[in-house]
Amino acid sequence: MSGITRRDAARLGLGASLGVAAASLTGCGALAGLAGPPGEGDLPRIIGDGSTAYTGAQPHQPPSPAPLDPGEEPPQFVVFSWDGAGEVGKGLFPRFLEVARAYDARMTFFLSGLYLLPEDKKHLYRPPANPVGASDIDYLTDAHIRATLTYVRQAWLDGHEIGTHFNGHFCAGPGSVAHWTAGQWRSEIDQARSFVKSWRTHTGWHDDPSLPFDYDRELVGGRTPCLLGQRNLLPVAHELGWRYDASSPGGVQRWPRRRGGVWDLPLQSIPFPGHRFEVLSMDYNMLANQSGNSTRAPSYHHADWRLQATESYLAGFRRAYETNRAPFFIGNHFEEWNGGIYMDAAEDTLRRISYWKDVRLVSFRQLVDWLDAQDPEILRKLRSLEVGEQPKGGWSAFLRPAKARSNA
């Protein structure tokens, strides 16, 4: 068999610069999806049916994180994440890729595996505790599957993380993910990965570009539908080597901790202007409190609700930034609910906080890279700070080593 040609390189979605390197590879091994970590001389390397390919280290990543220096103020991490991450003709996926480029942000896109499975192949999906092919979210049209592939590919090349939102999004009834066992979660995850890794076989689009990453290596976390079922998911996530889970509901603005060996990164309760109660830091929860779950409320509310959502996000950000510097998490969906006001609020929030000193707009994966690089004693001290609590004596004193404090 000849080496990878320029046509093969184009199908891999590698661009001109990698196409030259690809053309120099010879032998069948480059196309066979061999097991084990690839060496640099093997790039690019097609995996399985060519739906995915290993193309090297992900571009546009920050330098390797370093531990905080003694007394150093921690940065303010902010993670924007997206549930489902499908493009259905509304232009929201490319819109936020452009926003991220404009403000040097990285995000996490939780891809639903079902979004890469054509509806005429739905019999291949065997959802736990539900009929074969069932799903509480719609299967995408062919055009929308192609668009989703395009933007998932671009998102990874831009430096964003591709996590998972699993498949059928079952939130209610006896088949809800809230009731799934560890074995059922394992089946759901295996299927979600297979739909991403085998979309060429399932669609028949063998000349379309590959996704330029090894999904088994890239997938290190997810968010469950409706924030349900985390308890039985966590042992499976740990077994699979996942590094975090973002499924916990009702979190507070404190530094995260591990649960079952996995970083627990919950959506957080944040101030809700005009109310005495707090709201979860996600677009749907804003909607539920503003329009009672209606996604098409009268338009005369929209301007006020858009401002309220934006100010809520900003209030949560400022509370962390000015006190304990706990990482701040915002969850979104590519939806035009109530006239698209929540998309506008997310964009406006990202734009406004991007100018603040020491703010890092990162993916969940980049955040846990930083957490894993820190001294455990420093993380323990950071976790001791309550919501809205400033470090006693300032950061220099609070994060000074115990021996140095004693000498002082």
Residue 407 located in a structural domain: no
Percent of the chain beyond pLDDT 70?
88
Based on the fold, state whether residues 42 and 83 are members of the same structural domain: no
Please say if the pLDDT value at position 376 is more than 70.
yes
Based on the fold, state whether residues 254 and 304 are members of the same structural domain: yes
Question: Phi and psi at residue 277, in whole multiples of 5°?
Answer: -95, 165
Which band of pLDDT confidence, cut at 50, 70 and 90, is reported for residue 402?
low
Based on the fold, state whether residues 38 and 105 are members of the same structural domain: no
Residue 271 located in a structural domain: yes
Please say if the pLDDT value at position 70 is more than 70.
yes
Residue 165 located in a structural domain: yes
Residue 362 located in a structural domain: yes
Residue 23 located in a structural domain: yes
- Structural domain including 231 reads 76-383
Residue 403 located in a structural domain: no
Residue 231 located in a structural domain: yes
| Token output for 358 | 């020491």
Mean pLDDT computed over 45-74: 97
Q: Are strands 269-271 and 328-333 parallel, antiparallel or unpaired?
A: unpaired
C-alpha distance from residue 39 to each of 2, 50, 189, 275, 343 (Å): 20, 18, 27, 56, 41
Based on the fold, state whether residues 23 and 171 are members of the same structural domain: no
Based on the fold, state whether residues 162 and 42 are members of the same structural domain: no
Higher pLDDT, 404 or 202: 202
Cα separation, 283 vs 143, in Å, equals 26
Residue 14 located in a structural domain: yes
pLDDT per position as a tens digit, 18-43: 332 332 222 333 333 333 444 556 68
Based on the fold, state whether residues 199 and 306 are members of the same structural domain: yes
Which band of pLDDT confidence, cut at 50, 70 and 90, is reported for residue 56?
very high
299 secondary structure, DSSP code:
G
Tell me what the pLDDT averaged over the chain comes to: 90
Number of domains making up the chain? 2
Based on the fold, state whether residues 174 and 35 are members of the same structural domain: no
Cα separation, 198 vs 51, in Å, equals 6
Containing 165, the helix (H) or strand (E) segment is: none
Of 25-34, 243-252, 319-328, 332-341, the poorest mean pLDDT is in 25-34
pLDDT per position as a tens digit, 270-327: 999 999 999 999 999 999 999 998 999 999 999 999 999 999 999 999 999 999 999 9
Based on the fold, state whether residues 99 and 34 are members of the same structural domain: no
